[in-house]
Amino acid sequence: MTIRHHPSDDMLQAYAAGTLDEGQRIAVATHMRTCARCSGWVSALEQVGACMLERLPPTAMSMDALDRVLGRLSALPPPPAGAIFDDVPGLPAFVRRYRFGQWTWVGPGVHLRPIELPVDSPTRVFLLKAVPGTRMLQHSHTDLELTCVLSGAFRHQGGYFGPGDFDLGDEDVEHQPLVEPGEDCICLVAMQGKLRLSGLLGRLMQPFVRL
């Protein structure tokens, strides 16, 4: 698999630093799952973080800190909760433990499946599935939209996007993605914006038009 489109260096740095919001973190982690280049760079950045950690001056721990931890060593960690979602391949394991909504029709040939995040995030995450030949109009959003292709492919002015490819849209981008022939295109989408949950479905239905 040749991956041609990657997250920006800023985004990978924020991933390594742990300062991405949850929705964006999921999109980058999904990409890194197949991209040796980006995961190698993030590992390098984590080593930089390690150098930073080693150079920090120590702050004295509370007097009983070690004793308290020693007292807890034999306690068992809590078992991971929740069912594993494995309907769609290509998602990182931690994402598959999140709650997935149902596939919902949002327009001709296009279905959406929301992923429920365990924490508040300004970014909403969902799977988007479109049949070959679907032309999607770029909907407007006030902020970033990150897309990682899981299967199938689409193409727009920015190039060809196949499995593992990472696409970034913002208010300046006016792409019209066209789903490539062959199989359904399934993407993980992390979208920031001011859409409200109550009006979500209606607002989402507008942008998808089949030609």
Partner 1 sequence: MSAMAVEPPSATDAESLSRLIAAVARQDRDAFAALFGYFAPRVKTFLIRSGVNESGADELAQETLLVVWRKAAQFDPVTTGATAWIFTIARNLRIDALRRERRAGTLDASFDLEAFADERPPPDNAIDAAQSQERLSAALAQLNEDQARVIELSFFEDKAHGEIARLLQIPLGTVKSRVRLAMSRLRSLLDEAR
Cβ-based nearer residue to partner 1, 32 or 112: 32
Nearest approach in angstroms of CB 2 to partner 1 is: 13
Cβ-based nearer residue to partner 1, 42 or 149: 42
Nearest approach in angstroms of CB 176 to partner 1 is: 30
**How far are the Cα atoms of 54, 66, 81 from residue 189, in angstroms, in the given order?**
37, 43, 25
Nearest approach in angstroms of CB 82 to partner 1 is: 10
- Rounded Cα gap, residues 69 and 94, in angstroms: 27
DSSP 138-158: PPP-SS-EEEEEEES-EEETT
**How far are the Cα atoms of 13, 35, 53, 57 from residue 48, in angstroms, in the given order?**
11, 20, 9, 16
Cβ-based nearer residue to partner 1, 59 or 102: 59
Nearest approach in angstroms of CB 155 to partner 1 is: 25
Nearest approach in angstroms of CB 203 to partner 1 is: 26
- Rounded Cα gap, residues 145 and 143, in angstroms: 7
Cβ-based nearer residue to partner 1, 92 or 132: 92
- Rounded Cα gap, residues 199 and 113, in angstroms: 16
**How far are the Cα atoms of 33, 84, 110, 115 from residue 164, in angstroms, in the given order?**
8, 21, 20, 19
Report the half-sphere exposure of 39 (CA within 13 A, side-chain side).
10
- The residues of the shown chain that bind partner 1, judged by CB under 8 A, are 9-10, 13, 16-19, 22, 29, 32-37, 39-44, 46-70, 72-73, 75, 77-78, 80, 92-94, 97, 118-120
Q: What is the DSSP letter of 78?
A: P
Nearest approach in angstroms of CB 192 to partner 1 is: 15
Nearest to 123 by CA among 75, 169, 172: 169
